[in-house]
Amino acid sequence: ANLDPALADRIDRRTRLLGPAYRLFYQEPLTVDRGEGAYLYAPDGRDYLDAYNNVVSLGHAHPRVVEAVSAQMGKLCTHTRYVQDGILDLAEEMLPTFGGQIAENGHMMFTCTGSEANDLATRIAMHKTGKRGVIITSEAYHGTSHLTAGYSPSLGAKSPLGTWVRRVSAPDSYRRDVATLGAQMAAEVKARIEDLERHGDGIACFIADSLFSSDGIYSDPKGLLAPVAEVVRAHGGIMIADEVQSGFGRSGEAMWGYQRLGIDPEIVTMGKPMGNGFPVAGIAVRHDVVAPFGQDLRYFNTFGGNTVAIAAARAVFDTIREDNLLANAVRMGDAIRDGLRSLKDERIGDVRGVGLYVACEFVTDHTTKTHDAAIATACVNLMRKKGVLISSTGPGANILKIRPPLIFDASHVDRLLSTVEAALKEI
Ligand code: PMP
């Protein structure tokens, strides 16, 4: 690309200092130096509507989180080996929201990242079952640790998968029969479990992102995973709901995405929006599932669940509920989907998602449903030029991924939609 020389220099410097493994967004990468609400600002003051960053789900620099973190940092920041009330108050407030058996008799454990949360959940599942097989969806992403990267095929075709990992097809509601998706998935899971058993691994857990983000964003049908859970449990396995993307009200319908999928998981993992940008993540786990692990091992995570992280998480969790952000996510998400459908653009094959997680899939024609990555790439980059930030996803990279903060309002939706429309007209 023809980059401004000053930007090109900055990018060279970045590559020199940070090395070759990082990736920037956009053909013309964006420099930012401030964020507020739904907006990011470039050093020249230009605003960019952030319709992509699901970490700051209360909006950038949310005053309540800023205040909670600064006040706590000035008072005390230490780890979980001292008795402190804040962490207990948060756990007490969060546990009932999981419903089912976790609400009845479950625990919260805290980490710094979603990867660590999944890593810990998997270790607990392996310990409880005495098995090591892990079943995932075909383009899953679950983390950066050695264990979780071993079952994150979306890291790239050359990223090694564990020999104890099996994949099932994503629940592609656009191409497959939605009414029988759950049964199809359960049948595939059963076959994979039998294969794992034949290889002497057996099944420790089935883990899925409750919105199947890296698979292409699928939220239908309701109750999808109920038949899968039945098969997994019949073979002694554990259900892990990865709520790193779908948690904290993203779906609008419930605090947790799995609640739409009809399961009562043994372990729930969470992260990203939990601290609105402050690193805090964790798991909720049924007592009987973590009991053997707790008996045989100790768990200590220096920064996980530290006093400041807990203060951030508390501010976020309270704000989501007090400001009715779930209801807002439903309204704004539906408005975005309605707006995209009303464009009646031939290149759009499917608009889907739930709450403030929206997918808009481009295809070369509606019968073969062949991926059209070129349109998605052009649209994402043109929208960035026009001041709206989104991205693309899916195995064919042909799906617009729109994932705004939960505080999105009607004016943000208008700007997003008019920018998509303008970009598509220009392509
Ligand atoms: N699980 C899912 C579904 C994710 O999307 C991510 C992050 N993209 C992770 C786990 C890992 O979280 P983190 O980057 O905080 O380690």
Q: 204-251, pLDDT tens digit by residue?
A: 999 999 999 999 999 999 999 999 999 999 999 999 999 999 999 999
* Structural domain contains residue 84: yes
* Structural domain contains residue 363: yes
Tokens of 223: 């109750």
Q: Which residues pair with 359 in a beta bridge?
A: 352, 401
Distance 82 CA to ligand 1 centre (A): 29
Distance 142 CA to ligand 1 centre (A): 5
53 lines ligand 1 (CB under 6 A): no
Q: Is there a single domain that holds both residue 308 and residue 382? A: no
Q: Which residues, including other chains, have CB under 8 Å from residue 301's CB and lie 6 or more apart?
A: 80, 110, 111, 112, 116
Number of domains present in the structure of the chain: 2
Distance 404 CA to ligand 1 centre (A): 17
* Structural domain contains residue 413: yes
- Give the separation between CA 60 and CA 63, rounded to whole angstroms: 9
Distance 410 CA to ligand 1 centre (A): 29
244 lines ligand 1 (CB under 6 A): yes
Q: Is there a single domain that holds both residue 221 and residue 90? A: yes
Distance 390 CA to ligand 1 centre (A): 18
Contact criterion met (CB below 8 Å) for 142 and 136 = yes
Q: Is there a single domain that holds both residue 292 and residue 329? A: no
Which element (helix H / strand E) includes 229? Answer: helix 226-234
304 lines ligand 1 (CB under 6 A): no
* Structural domain contains residue 8: no
Contact criterion met (CB below 8 Å) for 266 and 238 = yes
Q: Which residues, including other chains, have CB under 8 Å from residue 5's CB and lie 6 or more apart?
A: none
* Structural domain contains residue 373: yes
Contact criterion met (CB below 8 Å) for 385 and 26 = no
Residue 8's identity, in one-letter code, is A
Range of the domain at 99: 65-322
245 lines ligand 1 (CB under 6 A): yes
Q: Which residues pair with 34 in a beta bridge?
A: 41
Residue whose Cα lies nearest atom 1 of ligand 1: it is 142
Q: Which residues, including other chains, have CB under 8 Å from residue 410's CB and lie 6 or more apart?
A: 332, 335
113 lines ligand 1 (CB under 6 A): yes
For position 47, which CATH number holds? 3.90.1150.10
* Structural domain contains residue 25: no
- Give the separation between CA 240 and CA 242, rounded to whole angstroms: 6
- The stretches in the chain having pLDDT less than 50 are none
Q: Is there a single domain that holds both residue 41 and residue 83? A: no
Contact criterion met (CB below 8 Å) for 251 and 355 = yes
Q: Could you say which DSSP state residue 144 is in?
A: S
Distance 418 CA to ligand 1 centre (A): 31
Kindly report, residue by residue over 5-26, the tens digit of the pLDDT. 999 999 999 999 999 999 999 9
381 lines ligand 1 (CB under 6 A): no
Distance 280 CA to ligand 1 centre (A): 12
* Structural domain contains residue 7: no
Q: Is there a single domain that holds both residue 245 and residue 387? A: no
Residue 298: name the closest of 123, 87, 73 by CA. Answer: 123
Q: Is there a single domain that holds both residue 387 and residue 410? A: yes
Distance 113 CA to ligand 1 centre (A): 7
- Give the separation between CA 33 and CA 17, rounded to whole angstroms: 19
pLDDT at residue 2, as a whole number: 85
242 lines ligand 1 (CB under 6 A): yes
Contact criterion met (CB below 8 Å) for 284 and 106 = yes
Distance 398 CA to ligand 1 centre (A): 21
Task: Annotate 93-126 with DSSP letters as a single string.
Answer: HHGGGG-HHHHHHEEEEEESSHHHHHHHHHHHHH
Distance 231 CA to ligand 1 centre (A): 26
208 lines ligand 1 (CB under 6 A): no
* Structural domain contains residue 213: yes
Residue whose Cα lies nearest atom 13 of ligand 1: it is 114
188 lines ligand 1 (CB under 6 A): no
Last residue of a domain, one of 289, 322, 355: 322
| β-pairing verdict for 106-111 and 281-286 | antiparallel
Last residue of a domain, one of 322, 352, 371: 322
118 lines ligand 1 (CB under 6 A): yes
ipTM field: 0.99
27 lines ligand 1 (CB under 6 A): no
Distance 295 CA to ligand 1 centre (A): 28
Q: Is there a single domain that holds both residue 316 and residue 333? A: no
Q: Is there a single domain that holds both residue 207 and residue 309? A: yes
Task: Annotate 241-288 with DSSP letters as a single string.
Answer: EE-TTTTTTTTSSSSSTHHHHT---SEEEE-GGGGBTB--EEEEEEHH
Last residue of a domain, one of 322, 354, 369: 322
Tokens of 380: 């994402």
For the CA of 116, the nearest atom of ligand 1: 16
Q: Is there a single domain that holds both residue 282 and residue 344? A: no
First to last CA, the chain: 17
For the CA of 115, the nearest atom of ligand 1: 16
- Give the separation between CA 251 and CA 355, rounded to whole angstroms: 4
pLDDT at residue 1, as a whole number: 61
Q: Is there a single domain that holds both residue 281 and residue 394? A: no
Q: Is there a single domain that holds both residue 301 and residue 404? A: no
Contact criterion met (CB below 8 Å) for 380 and 400 = yes
141 lines ligand 1 (CB under 6 A): yes
In this structure, the dihedral spanned by the alpha carbons of residues 285, 288, 293 and 299, taken in order and rounded to 10 degrees, is 40
